[in-house]
Amino acid sequence: MHLARFPRVFLAHLPTPLERLDRLSKELGGPEIWIKRDDCTGLSTGGNKTRKLEFLMAEALAMGADTVMTQGATQSNHARQTAAFAAKLGLQCHLLLEDRTGSNDGNYNHNGNVLLDHLHGATTSKRQGGLDMQAEMEAVADRLRAEGRKVYVIPGGGSNPTGALGYVNCAFEIVSQANDRGLRIDHIVTATGSAGTQAGLITGLKAMNAGIPLTGIGVRAPKEKQEENVFNLACRTAEKLGCPGVVKREDVVADSSYVGAGYGIPRADTLEAIRMFAQLEAILLDPVYSGKGAAGLIDYCRKGRFKKGERVVFLHTGGSAALFGYDSQFAEDDKALTVA
């Protein structure tokens, strides 16, 4: 697999660390848990979108764009990483932020990722929840084009075959780190949303015949829908790479049991996972994605879904900047841990 054939802007801090989580593994008493630190990709507090944007932004530059646009939820990590990447490249950035939670919390609407979007100089506009955001974005892009701007539109989450190349690359990176250190990996677990991360990973894993099963923990769509989205994108990514058909439908496994009331609304087990990672491993998760992914991982361990002695890698996709938009979820900790 020859990824150097595709244009890429090298900006992420790679390879990200692959680390063993001793205290969490001991607490759960099951498999040996490892973490792939894609929260440490380096761009404006890091996260998984940076790997995708390395390939997407190269396309934007190749077409001579002066403006990039993308869309996401109010606390979108993807929007923030796009704003940061655009700043680094000297491109203008406009973000459409969809109100998926209906929250009128000041920190949710202005702190965390939103604060960073604006610090990077991106302009934002809001949309009510439930609209066709891709269509909204195209309409704004057309307006900007009519004004003479050259606009490159990035889909939500950066999830198309170009963006997914970033996670094909991550699959190679994980397996190469494991090979160099003599680590047999039995399973990989990650949060899955707009599907590019899981689609890229499974395409890379299958293309190199790694024999490592991958489970995506859903954050929004029901299982069937999520698996279908991931599978479709994986098929298109494999075609782009010149290995059509390497991913079979049964290779794509998503579990949407940890979504709760909806996208961006944490459950009790999401918050528990965030506390466990923070207090046992000094690692910051987020309330929208990695907290739900980790809640799934923890539940699988407790239910004995992984055997003792197996080695499970949790891909940490980042998102900790969103914590500052969700501080109200942790009001209890604030009260309980403040002492006279």
Residues belonging to the active site: 76
C-beta atoms surrounding 172 within 10 Å: 18
Answer yes or no: are the C-beta atoms of 99 and 125 closer than 8 Å.
no
The single residue among 194, 203, 237, 270 that binds ligand PLP, judged by CB under 6 A, is 194
- Looking up tokens 């604006």, which residue turns up? 118
Minimum CB separation of residue 14 from ligand PLP in Å reads 17
Give the range of 16-24, 57-65, 194-202, 234-242 binding ligand PLP by CB under 6 A. Answer: 194-202
Binding residues among 134-193 for ligand PLP as defined by CB under 6 A: 157, 159, 191-193
Give the range of 174-182, 269-277, 316-324, 332-340 binding ligand PLP by CB under 6 A. Answer: 316-324
C-beta atoms surrounding 333 within 10 Å: 13
- State which residue, 269 or 310, has the beta carbon closest to ligand PLP: 269
Does 237 interact with ligand PLP (rule: CB under 6 A)? no
- State which residue, 8 or 80, has the beta carbon closest to ligand PLP: 80
Binding residues among 45-104 for ligand PLP as defined by CB under 6 A: 47-48, 77-78
Instruction: Please name the residues in contact with 307: beta carbons below 8 A apart, sequence gap of 6 or more.
Output: 30, 31
The number of residues that bind ligand PLP (CB under 6 A) is: 20
C-alpha span between 22 and 148 (Å, rounded): 55
Minimum CB separation of residue 219 from ligand PLP in Å reads 7
Does 112 interact with ligand PLP (rule: CB under 6 A)? no
- State which residue, 77 or 177, has the beta carbon closest to ligand PLP: 77
Sign (positive/negative) of CA torsion 332, 336, 337, 339? positive
Residue-by-residue DSSP string for 137-154: HHHHHHHHHHTT--EEEP
C-beta atoms surrounding 336 within 10 Å: 8
- State which residue, 25 or 81, has the beta carbon closest to ligand PLP: 81
- H helical segments located in the chain: 22-28, 49-62, 77-89, 106-110, 113-119, 133-146, 161-181, 196-207, 223-241, 268-281, 290-302, 331-337
Which residues make up the interface to ligand PLP (CB under 6 A)?
47-48, 77-78, 157, 159, 191-198, 286, 289-290, 317-319
